């Protein structure tokens, strides 16, 4: 089991550029979650999917953020255009009802927008 895999680990981009973060959940997990972590706000849930369908996107800060899950093994979080206030660590996590809904987190993507 390779765990939840996120890429890239670090991303530095200029304000206004498009940023795409990627996540591969654990095989067989049918829930996928995107979180953002900052010192000021802690961990915030942005959006989550069940069986590739977005269920709750109420945490997505604004229209500049979008997320997709085209299949069970891949999800993307896109920010377009990026702004300095988007700088944070973005985590992906997956879970399964067959594993008691325990979450497994990826290592995160540290995004810096300059």
Enumerate binding residues for another protein (CB under 8 A).
Answer: 31, 33, 42-43, 45, 48, 50, 55-56, 91, 93, 95, 100-108, 110
Specify burial of residue 79 (Cβ count, 10 A radius: 0-12, 13-18, 19+).
buried
- Least gap, CB of 32 to another protein (angstroms): 11
Q: Which is nearer to another protein, 4 or 79 (CB)?
A: 4
- Least gap, CB of 4 to another protein (angstroms): 9
Helix count (H) and strand count (E) of the chain? 0, 11
- Least gap, CB of 95 to another protein (angstroms): 8
Tell me whether strands 109-113 and 10-13 are parallel, antiparallel or unpaired: parallel
């Amino acid at each position: 089991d390779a765990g939840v895999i996120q890429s890239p680990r670090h991303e530095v981009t200029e304000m206004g550029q498009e940023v795409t973060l990627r996540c591969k959940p654990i095989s067989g997990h049918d829930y996928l979650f995107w979180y953002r972590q900052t010192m000021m706000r802690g961990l915030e849930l942005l959006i989550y999917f069940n069986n590739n369908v977005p269920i709750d996107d109420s945490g997505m800060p604004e229209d500049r953020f979008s997320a997709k899950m085209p299949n069970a093994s891949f999800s993307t979080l896109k920010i377009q255009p990026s702004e300095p206030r988007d700088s944070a660590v973005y985590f992906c996590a997956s879970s399964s009802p067959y594993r008691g809904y325990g979450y497994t987190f990826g290592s995160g993507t540290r995004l810096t927008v300059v």
